[in-house]
Chain A
Amino acid sequence: MIPEVLTFGRNGFADELLRGTLVTLYIAVAAFLLGLALGLLGATAKLYGGIVSRFVANIYTTVIRSIPELVLILFLFFAGTRGISTLSELVGFGPVNVNGTLAAILVLGFVQGAYSTEILRGAILAIPVGQIEAAKAYGMSTFQTFSRIIFPAMLPNAIPSLSNLWLEAIKSTSLIMVTGASAELGGIARSAASFTKRYFMFYFVALLIYLALTLVSNIFLQRLERYVRRGQPKLA
């Protein structure tokens, strides 16, 4: 028997929760991809960059990874939204209200970038040097070496950690609700809970939805790992 507050329609919150789940997924996917892009940039900077880019990348990963996510998110959220608004004022568009979802993606992506930098750096370092040397000896350009050798050879090393990072991305979307600016699952659960005064039920339902998201992700991630590891000896 489902209580009325969990049904679809006017008196229930099921449709709101469903929309919140979609927003959470959307934020997590976008932030994860942004983090991957930043991570690729950061890893290249750390491994092949000059002194300046190496230094910047080192500061980025050290600082971001040693500060609690909640504090970072609040800081970047305030700083970021105000920064973008000031920027648009300077350019002459007048102050803009940065959309909460977009701000969440940018902030979480920036944080995720630091972790993926380290993961990708480690994964690239784990490739036997001989393979990269062989690619160069064949006369491959830097881009060809990367796309044909480094990238596919790095994936099996990176996927397990990246899977954890993806799960972390889903879970850290819930931190966005402290900024009070987003309609993701956690925020929806909180408003539904305080509206109906049924705190335990709504937070529990939210937890179950998060659990479903991570369990389903796990299935796909295991398949992906098996795919990128094809042709390699089994791990012990």
Chain B
Amino acid sequence: MDWSWLPKYLPMLPGAIFVTLQLVVFTMVFGLLLAIPLALVQVTGPKWLARIARGYCTFMRGTPLLIQLYLFYYGLGAIFASYPELRQSFFWPILREGYYYAIVAFALNEAGYLGEVLRGAFLSVPKGELEAARAYGMSPFKVLSRVWLPRALRNALPALGGETILTLKATPLAALVTVTDIFSVADKVRQETYIIYPPLIMVMVVYMILTFIITRIFNYYEKQIPVRR
């Protein structure tokens, strides 16, 4: 085992961890924001909208994330590049960056999974609570923001923790589209020094630690929820 590369490449790690965490947070936040309407229309929406939302979730959950990411980065990227107006525009530096493609692809994918999670969570809120909220004269939006959504999110918290870890484990895919995340450090070491295993082992340990921390954070919040036993 050759660890001589470590001093030179270790300083890259904090920044790389930060990029990975950014990917996780943005994916979960945007995914959740998208998933709320996706789940809502499946529970209360008109049939045709519910069908579309269901189809979306099925598609995202039934196909590999890597190919979805490639579809965005290479597929859409090539289409964008074919418009000269776009290349000269102010958006081009953003449209070239793998980072944004990764976040968009991850968030759209995660929305499919979270939509399914939230659908169950919305259904698990007791009907009486929603009726009580309506009886108080709350508008449908207020019922959602004050009663239905907070209750659903609480019920879904364990599943959300699991999804966050799955998202963390999906983030190394971003390294394949030039994002400088944790995994990209191992890739860089391999390309520059031809050392394969030690950097991969380091990266694995970092991911294990992050998984552990995220589990702990969610456990903490799960314990904050008052339950009657």
Which A residues lie at the B interface, using CB under 8 A? Answer: 63, 66-72, 74-75, 78-79, 167, 171-175, 177-178, 186, 189-190, 193, 197, 199-201, 203-204, 206-207, 210-211, 214-215
Contact = CB atoms under 8 A, between A and B. Distances in A.
Contacts of A78: 196-197, 200
Contact of B75 (A167, A178, A199): A199
Contacts of A69: 169
A70 B183 contact: yes
B207 A71 contact: yes
A175 to B, nearest CB: 6
A75 B205 CA distance: 13
Nearest to B204: A67
A203 B67 contact: yes
Size category of the B interface is 35 or more
B78 to A, nearest CB: 5
A125 to B, nearest CB: 18
Contacts of B170: 68
Contacts of A173: 64
Interface of B: 58-59, 61-68, 70-71, 74-79, 165, 168-173, 176, 183, 186, 196-197, 200-201, 203-204, 207-208, 211-212
Nearest to A170: B64
B66 A186 contact: yes
Contacts of B204: 63, 67, 71-72, 75
Most buried by B among A171, A193, A207: A207
A189 B63 contact: no
B171 A71 contact: no
B207 A66 contact: yes
Contacts of B173: 70
